[in-house]
Amino acid sequence: MAEVAIMADRRPGRLSGFARWFRSDPRGAVSLTFLVALVAVSTLAPWVAPQSPTAQDFNAMMAPMSAEHWLGADDLGRDVLSRLIHGGMASLYASFLAVAVAVVIGVPVGLLAGYLGGWVDAVISRIIDSFLSFPAIVLAIAVTGALGIGLTNGMISVGIVFAPQLARLVRARTLVVRHELYVDSARCFGASTSRILWRHVLPNTIQPVIVQVTLLLAGALLAEASLSFLGLGIQPPNASWGAMLARAYQNMEIAPEQMYPPGLAILLTALAFNGLGESLRVALDPTMKRR
């Protein structure tokens, strides 16, 4: 009972210490606040958006900013602000889907390669090197062509492209952790390989994975914008920031200001993901925290 009480006393202290450090980093606080607000607004898009994202007003085609259309209207008379709000949900969904696919594939592969070593590590490492030798966007386009055009298929392809990066990171960390005494002790007591990996190795490799995930979210957001810009992502009349940017690019000579809302949304969200990742890297690394 005394040990349980001590652990209960220590746990809030650790959490409060992390929260105190996180609040002391303005970059992380601002990034997290922006992302939480973005998720909230995107989730409540049907109630927050002033108009339907697909409703067309042919009398307002290419209309400038006004009281009725705060950010103007596109070439089909659709309200830009409404499409920007609804497009946020599609872009965020795409980012989280791609990173989830990367985690599901990359983390187990990296654990197996780093822990088993030998020919398993050699084969997996060569496969990872082969994937990383291709430009990411080119490989994503190729996989999208094989799976089929669409937002979900496009982001699954991006997740497959991102998986080798996570696998290499987890493998490098596992190579260090597998020689620790607690892993040797678990092996001596007859623990199975799966139990050692999930109960002892993975928890001690998760910190760099968390940081890398936040950075990959920014990369996935840009990849979605690129695929939608090329017509391989979300399909009309649905809205995403990349699709809006592609539409605005077609009318850049007539109304160049329409490129700013989706472009700024992509830029600020990517910066927020990167800022959150850098803040987490410092907060989770004791050596960085001391510096």
pLDDT per position as a tens digit, 82-95: 899 998 888 899 89
Summarize pLDDT for 263-290 with one digit per residue, the tens. Answer: 899 999 999 998 888 887 777 665 555 5
Q: What is the pLDDT of residue 17?
A: 55
Q: What is the pLDDT of residue 99?
A: 93
Q: What is the pLDDT of residue 62?
A: 76
Q: How confident is the model at residue 2 (pLDDT cuts 50, 70, 90)?
A: very low
The more confidently predicted of residues 89 and 203 is 89
Q: What is the pLDDT of residue 16?
A: 59
Q: What is the pLDDT of residue 100?
A: 94
The more confidently predicted of residues 143 and 96 is 96
Kindly list the domain boundaries of the chain, sorted by start residue: 49-290
Q: What is the pLDDT of residue 98?
A: 92
CB 168 within 8 A of CB 128: yes
Mean pLDDT of 110-135: 86
Q: What is the pLDDT of residue 20?
A: 67
Summarize pLDDT for 205-259 with one digit per residue, the tens. Answer: 888 888 889 889 988 888 888 888 787 878 878 888 888 888 888 888 887 888 8
The answer to whether residue 10 scores a pLDDT higher than 50 is: no
DSSP string, 172-187: HHHHHHTTSHHHHHHH
Q: What is the pLDDT of residue 246?
A: 83
Architecture in CATH of 49-290: Orthogonal Bundle (1.10)
Distances in Å between the Cα of 227 and the Cα atoms of 15, 199, 248 are: 40, 38, 15
The answer to whether residue 18 scores a pLDDT higher than 60 is: no
The answer to whether residue 168 scores a pLDDT higher than 70 is: yes
The answer to whether residue 185 scores a pLDDT higher than 70 is: yes
Q: How far apart are CA 56 and CA 79, in angstroms?
A: 8
DSSP string, 148-174: -SSHHHHHHHHHHHHHHHHHHHHHHHH
Q: What is the pLDDT of residue 9?
A: 43
CB 215 within 8 A of CB 280: no
Q: What is the pLDDT of residue 286?
A: 53
- Conformational region of residue 26, where left means phi above 0, alpha means psi within -120 to 50, and beta covers everything else: alpha
Summarize pLDDT for 59-110 with one digit per residue, the tens. Answer: 777 777 777 778 878 878 788 888 999 988 888 998 999 999 999 999 999 9
**Overall size of the chain counted in residues:** 291
